[in-house]
A = this chain, B = another copy of it.
Amino acid sequence: MPRAADTAYATLRQMILSGEAAAGSRLGEAELAETLGLSRTPVREALQRLGADGLVEVLPHRGARVVRWSRADLEEIFELRALLEPYAAERAARRRPDAAVLAELTALCDAMERSGDPAEIARLNSAFHGAVIDASGNRRLPALLTSVMHAPLIVGTFRRYDAGALARSMNHHRELVAALTAGDPDWAGSVMRAHIRAAAAGPISEEE
């Protein structure tokens, strides 16, 4: 039986990412505790962790709220991704990922191209990028990027993609796998950079 705090964390995280907990909405400890069938203590710990992840903001004596992303936030986040993820791709290519990892990445590409559901695609996309980051060999990168990886999910980048942009994104993924297979750091890094910049161009230019 897992720890109650972990289940609370996972549940709340899912609620936020799925949009069930709207941005800006208040997250009362007592209310969540009742909903999840737990006491306030594990809920409180989960909110702390989500605050550290940047998914909620906790103000002293004022509780927790789901963060609302401004356009400036998205710009900052895509800048950081454009910095860190190409680095991860370069390192991964230099390390020559083993066949199992490459097969996993290819499988994720297949699944993404097959699926039509934006939410499903977003999840597979996260898994893809996470696998590349893991393949970089730097064990600190995953933790660093969790705080900036889920933002596009909330905003729903993939919903804004038209058919052309979506196809381009898929092609980027395929090309990245090729670059990793070839073990070409510069190629892999460049593709990843283009991939992030292309993703940034959509949501940032619009709304708010």
Contact = CB atoms under 8 A, between A and B. Distances in A.
Copies of this chain in its oligomeric complex: 2
B76 A138 contact: yes
Contact of A3 (B48, B60, B139): B60
Given A45-B48, A73-B140, 7 more contacts: A52-B52, A54-B140, A76-B139, A76-B140, A80-B140, A80-B141, A143-B147
A165 interface: no
Interface residues of A, number: 23
Contact of A48 (B49, B76, B140, B148): B49
A30 interface: no
B49 A52 contact: yes
A111 interface: no
Nearest to A53: B52
B80 A138 contact: yes
A144 interface: yes
